[in-house]
Structure 1
Amino acid sequence: MGTLVPVLLCLTLLLGSTVPQETNNRSYSLTFLYTGLSRPTEGSPKFQATAYLNDLAFFHYHSKRKTAEPLGPWSQVEGMEDWEKESELQKAREEVFMATLNDIMDYYKDRGSHTFQGMFGCELWNNTASGALWKYAYDGQDFIQFNKDLPGWVPLDAAALTTKQKWEAEKVYVQRAKAYLEEECPEMLRRYLEHSRSPLDRQDPPSVLLTSHVVAGENRTLKCLAYGFYPPDMDLRWTLAGEAQKSEPKRDVFPSGDGTYQAWVVVEVPAQGRGPYSCQVEHSSLAEPLTVQWDETQEARG
């Protein structure tokens, strides 16, 4: 099996060591996601890598173009990264990543259609390293992950035991993986933040839409939809005369496809109930919670 660890650790810190003065008491993350396909469909790359700052993709690489390209607002930023050097690094990672996929298939003696994915990165809270991850999956199932507290690789699949033995054959690789997660990745994230405050710290307030639906002889269902907001953290609840109502379990927040998010919450009330029912919305863009009252004569209100 190809030695994946050393290649992934060749993250030369191209950006120096200047540290931003503050992080606004917020959490920031840097995450790399790799995907390799043994039999890609026509027109699809066999390997691709995307780097994310928080939930926003800031560069992408794939096996057809062989170049790392900044995305979104970062395509207009000068000096954030040496993209030619980053492209060469991604080429090396692609080669070893795909070799690892092939070796796993050899272990199972199955040369069919398979997917290998890797994810690694770190998190800062108030400029202090607060979390890290490094893990792999094969065909959607956990394969192996790095535990920096041991430190060592933890196999989660039969074939991964062989991977662990090869990756830990030289102890220096384990120590370098630990150092990457605890030192190098957080330092890289601090540097990236110098060029990323505007897109990451932006505050887009939510719009709110209230709707209701009644089935004859049954209760009325009220739905509160909040949309167009960023960042994604959001709290929604229905209230009756200011008292919280028992709603459906809180739904996940979903991307809207335009860089913002949406979320909703529903509650069932007596069909003849007059309330007053209101939806309360809490978001970091709002100086105080936003309360929108449902009006039976006006089904939607923003």
Structure 2
Amino acid sequence: MFFLRIFHPSLSKETTMLGLIVLVLLCGEASAGSHSLRYFFTSMTPIPGLPQFLIVGYVDGVEFVLYDSNRKEMIPRQCWMAESEGPEYWKQQTQTAREWEQALTISIQNLMRRTNQTDGTHTYQLMYGCEMRDDGSTSGFEQFGWDGKDYVNFDKDHMVWVTRVNWGEVSKNKWDQTPGFNKHVKRYLEQECIQSLKKYLKDGEQELRPFAPQVFLSVNKASATKWTQLSCLITGFYPCDIEVILLRNGKPIMGTYSTGILPNHNGTCQLRRWAQIELSDRVIYSCTYEHSSIGVETRNWDGTFRLTPGSSNRRNHNLTVGVMMIIPLLSLVIVMAVWKCRAAARGESSLNISAPA
């Protein structure tokens, strides 16, 4: 049986669980040429239509496990995950998720008292994970947030918790003084999390294999003036980590804009970066991009004018309408994701979940 053991100092026992929480579109992505395993969990005061507790796990930005307080069941979100683990595993993960749901509900009440708040909408978050780069180096992080702001973070190098707020000292001191806890956290981030990432990459090898991007570099001449828009659309790539830079005579153009990384319907991703430019016969415009599937490549503008695929007025209108429709929902949960973000090998391993605040 493959599972995660979670050390919870307030319970004085080790329990099992899989992973944790929400809204990856507003979380940071791993760098190009790397693989990442990230868990997020959020507990919140009641909001109509939304679960009070969420657990989400991501491999290379792909959601692969999910738990919420409405369903009260940990479920796989990818076929390869469902096929790699049996019923007993999911039963264990569900039980532990329910325990954490209860524990973090208590944490919200503690933090409301600590911050002198008696009502309103509040969120308590934990985000942790690790990254494995192509050069063999690794990194890991764990951080807590309260109402969309940093609350307490783990300094892995010095094995201490760090807080920027006075009311965070209680949790910092509690966790720093729990025997063996910080050493456990460090071990998980540096060893067991990486082992877990390798396992998931192997289990989902077919679905998680890299896809090289398609690149469309275009210039749209908007008027009779020399000023126009240079646009680089990159789509169909996976993993969803990519670096894109617009160049003028080989040097980065300042003041560019970007859609950010967006999902495609087939599980790949897309990104468009653009800038206002002044056309000149002696200037070479280009787009350089770095992705794990191909390394670094550069595409020069060929001098022809054309529309960027998918950039018609009709599409822009539909996009605007769609954004306006989701704004009310996002306004309810944006505090959950403003705070920055993004199971071990066969046998037992340890995970660094902390006690209620």
TM exceeds 0.5?
yes
Query: Greater CA radius of gyration, 1 or 2?
Result: 1
Alpha-carbon separation, structure 1, partners of 2:263 and 2:303:
24
Q: Percent identity?
A: 22
Match for residue 121 of structure 1 among 120, 129, 148: 129
2:65 corresponds to 1:59:
yes
How far did 1:119 drift? Answer: 0.3
How far did 1:123 drift? Answer: 1.9
Alpha-carbon separation, structure 2, partners of 1:67 and 1:121:
22
Match for residue 145 of structure 1 among 153, 173, 184: 153
2:153 partner SS: strand
2:144 partner SS: strand
Residue in structure 2 matched with residue 294 of structure 1 by the alignment: 303
Alpha-carbon separation, structure 1, partners of 2:123 and 2:14:
24
State the AA in 2 paired with 1:201.
R
Residue in structure 2 matched with residue 88 of structure 1 by the alignment: 95
1:295 partner SS: coil
Alpha-carbon separation, structure 1, partners of 2:113 and 2:290:
50
Alpha-carbon separation, structure 2, partners of 1:255 and 1:94:
30
Instruction: Give structure 2 stretches of 5+ with no counterpart.
Output: 1-6, 19-31, 311-357
Contact kept, 8 Å, 1:122 with 1:181, in 2: the verdict is yes
Contact kept, 8 Å, 1:107 with 1:159, in 2: the verdict is yes
Instruction: Give structure 1 stretches of 5+ with no counterpart.
Output: 15-24
State the AA in 1 paired with 2:108.
L
2:269 corresponds to 1:256:
no
TM-score w.r.t. the length of structure 2 is 0.68
2:274 corresponds to 1:268:
no
Residue in structure 2 matched with residue 22 of structure 1 by the alignment: none
Match for residue 83 of structure 2 among 67, 77, 89: 77
Alpha-carbon separation, structure 1, partners of 2:9 and 2:184:
9
2:157 partner SS: coil
TM-score w.r.t. the length of structure 1 is 0.79
How far did 1:67 drift? Answer: 1.1
How far did 1:153 drift? Answer: 1.3
Match for residue 158 of structure 1 among 166, 185, 191: 166
Aligned residue pairs, count: 283
Residue in structure 2 matched with residue 227 of structure 1 by the alignment: 235
Distance 1:11 1:185, change over 3 A: farther
- What are the Cα deviations for residues 270-292 of structure 1, in whole angstroms up to 9, with x where unaligned? 4xx45785544545445864445
Contact kept, 8 Å, 2:229 with 2:274, in 1: the verdict is no
Distance 1:77 1:276, change over 3 A: farther
Alpha-carbon separation, structure 1, partners of 2:132 and 2:10:
24
How far did 1:62 drift? Answer: 0.7
Residue in structure 2 matched with residue 32 of structure 1 by the alignment: 39
- What are the Cα deviations for residues 65-110 of structure 1, in whole angstroms up to 9, with x where unaligned? 1111111343553338922211122122222222112100011231
| Structure ranking higher on relative contact order (CA contacts 8 Å, 6+ apart) | 2
Alpha-carbon separation, structure 2, partners of 1:126 and 1:6:
38
State the AA in 2 paired with 1:185.
C
Contact kept, 8 Å, 1:279 with 1:294, in 2: the verdict is no
Distance 1:181 1:36, change over 3 A: same
